[in-house]
Each structure stands twice: as C-alpha cells, then as structure tokens.
Amino acid sequence: KPRVLSGIQPTADSFHLGNYLGAIRQWVTMQETHDAFYCVVDLHAITIPVEAATLRHRSRVAAAQLFAVGLDPERATVFVQSHIREHTELAWVLNCLTGMGEAGRMTQFKDKSAKFGESAASVGLFTYPILQAADILLYHAESVPVGADQKQHLELTRDLAQRFNHRFGDTFTLPQPHIVKSVEKITDLQDPAAKMSKSSSSPQGIIDVLEQPGPMRKKIMRAVTDTGTEVAFDEENKPGISNLLRIQSALSGTPIPDLVARYEGQGYGTFKKDVAEVVADTLTPIRERTEKLLADEGELDRLLAIGAGRARAVAQQTMAQVRERVGFLPAY
Ligand code: AQP
C-alpha cells in the first residue's frame, strides 16, 4: 500500500470544521487505501508560546478527536510528534540544506509573524516548514492530505527531498499533496475571504468540532452573507453563501447544483437552518466519542504508545540511512 502522512497542530481546545473537511476527513478514508501515519504535531505547536499544561491538554484532546472521527489504531499509526526524536534530528539536517531566502519566501510565516511583528517571532516559527518536511520525509510518504494553505510547504518538502537525494544519493520519496478542491479552503463565517483558522478566526467565525449544537446553530444563522436572497454558488459575489454550500455539500454528499435547485425561491433562512442541522448531525457523535476517550487518559496514552512504537521503527531506519549518507560517524 502507498504510504500517507499528515499532521495537525494541537493549537486549540478543538479542531474546527475547516481542519475536519479540508484534511482529517480524508485521513479517515485514506486509512483504507494507504499505509497511514498521522501525527499530533506538538513540536510545531510550540513555535507560538503556550503554557505546558495547556499544550498537554490540547495534545490529548487532539489525539482523542482523531480516534473519535474514525481513525482506527489497528489500521492507522496515530502518534505524537515529540515522541519520535528523529523528527527534530532530520529537521536539523534539512535546516542545513535550506537557503535563508528560500525559507523567507514562506507565506505562512509572513502571515503568522505579522500578528506580533516579525522580529518577535521565534526562529522555530521561521523554520516550521523545514520541520514539516522532516515529518513527511522520515516516513517516505507518497501522499499528504492537507488543505490549500499547505501547498507551498509541500513544494519546499519536495525541493528538499530532491536536493538531499541529489547531494547524498537517492534516499527520500517525493511526496504529493492530496488536496480535495471542493473543501481545500473552508472560510471564516464572519470573514468569507479568510480561511477558518484556530488562531486567527474570531469565536463567531469558527465552528469547533467539539462545539455544542446550540451556539453552533447560532453562528451559522449569523454567518455573513450578502444583501441578495438567492442561494447560488458564486465565489466572487456570494463568498459567504458559497462557503455554506460547500460545507453542506461535503457533509450531506449532495452536489452543489442540487442544493441550489432545492433552495430556489426560499431565501437564506431555511438554507442556513439546514446547514446547521447537517453540521450538528455530523459533529455531535464526534464530540460524544471524544468526551468518552478523554475520560480514560490511560487508554488514550496506551493507544498513542502503540502508534509511537510503529512510527519509531520507520523513523529510526530512515535516520540511520541519513546519518550514514551525510557522513556522521557511527556511534558504538
Ligand atoms: N480553513 C481550512 N479549510 C481547509 N483546510 C484547512 N486546514 C486548516 N484550515 C483549513 C487544514 O487542516 C490541517 C491541519 O491544520 P494545522 O493544525 O496544521 O494548522 P493550520 O493549517 O495552520 O490551520 P489553522 O486552523 O489556521 O491553525 P493555526 O491557527 O494553529 O495555524 C492542515 O492540513 C490544513 O491545511
């Protein structure tokens, strides 16, 4: 089976609907067709300051959510990034192959660091994409299911793999991003031009997977739309309605043109109510399963230890080869 790898940052108390539709839902389907490796990327999460207790809590919630959406610990290798030391070790080697200018072109760093001023941003935030490249290359992943915001980082990963292979001999597989166009960018409910984001969306703009149905419905009913009345897919003139159509279509499996036909002459209210309904129906069981999993931390940690064991076996093998190719002396 081809190998797939992807990760999610434990940077909030829940994933949001954009993470779910853009990435994690694909993780679940791909565990059937691929040799799947999925990680909670806690090393990435510390690129922005966070309290230790908060990080610990969020990492457990993230792991619980991954199992709650349907990842099966028997089939998929689900693990925590910091449990596998080889991620940071390979990242160092790749850091030394990356040009400053090349790293400086990454738009996510520009966006994220703009919030607190570039000089206040950590070096870790700057080298974030290089650690991400290490995550992927360590496991020889062929496919990486992500949202559109990760395209540029995947390009860098491919460039680094190619550079390493060219300089030291064929070692790494060149990964392909797996992006589902219709859900590649779920937007903020209050700002339909911006992506829904854990760290930059306002509470009214984001739907958490662990959200209670009441507040969630209210947010969808209050989602920014336009002054028109017609439910139509038009990203330019109706970005808010188009985003809701994308969400409803992805969750219900009904093609967008069928939805548009269904709401002809009905106005936004009925449409939004139905969107809220399908979102609640999808998220409620995930929330309930997550709560159950979180109630037994010992069991959750046991599942993560199984994942770490499998991940470590692959990562250690790759790093042994990298050490030898780069020219590090064997340690006896
Ligand atoms: N709005 C989105 N639409 C579709 N996909 C999305 N993803 C994120 N936002 C959307 C995808 O979710 C996966 C995990 O994301 P991440 O944890 O690595 O962080 P991110 O991409 O930086 O997303 P956020 O929500 O904006 O988190 P913070 O605020 O922590 O940076 C990725 O595959 C991503 O593409």
pLDDT tens-digit map of 38-65: 999 999 999 999 999 999 999 999 999 9
199 close to ligand 1 (CB < 6 Angstrom) = yes
Q: Is 40 left (phi over 0), alpha (psi -120 to 50) or beta?
A: beta
- State the alpha helices, DSSP H only, in 253-296: 256-262, 267-294
Q: Which residues are catalytic?
A: 112, 195, 198
CB 56 within 8 A of CB 46: no
Pocket-testing residue among 4, 9, 131, 242, ligand 1, by greatest number of atoms within 8 A of Cβ: 9
**pTM (2 d.p.):** 0.96
pLDDT at 76 (0 to 100): 98
185 close to ligand 1 (CB < 6 Angstrom) = yes
Q: Which residue has the tokens 């590090």?
A: 328
CB 160 within 8 A of CB 133: yes
177 close to ligand 1 (CB < 6 Angstrom) = no
186 close to ligand 1 (CB < 6 Angstrom) = yes
pLDDT at 248 (0 to 100): 98
pLDDT at 199 (0 to 100): 84
pLDDT at 116 (0 to 100): 79
Residue 298: its H or E element: helix 297-326
pLDDT tens-digit map of 153-190: 999 999 999 999 999 999 999 999 999 999 999 999 99
Does the annotation flag 274 for ligand binding?
no
Phi, psi of 26 (to 5 degrees): -70, -30
Calculate how far, in angstroms, residue 178's C-alpha sits from the geometric centre of ligand 1.
14
Phi, psi of 170 (to 5 degrees): -60, 115
CB 79 within 8 A of CB 39: yes
Report which protein residue has its CA nearest ligand 1's atom 7.
Answer: 19
Report which protein residue has its CA nearest ligand 1's atom 13.
Answer: 19
Does the annotation flag 135 for ligand binding?
yes
pLDDT at 200 (0 to 100): 84
Does the annotation flag 12 for ligand binding?
no
pLDDT at 68 (0 to 100): 98
End-to-end CA distance of the chain: 35
Does the annotation flag 186 for ligand binding?
yes
C-alpha 167/C-alpha 267 separation (Å) is 61
Predicted-complex ipTM score:
0.96
Dihedral (CA of 290, 294, 296, 301) sign = positive
What are the residue ranges in the chain where pLDDT is below 50?
A: none
Side-chain half-sphere of 127: how many Cα atoms within 13 Å?
21
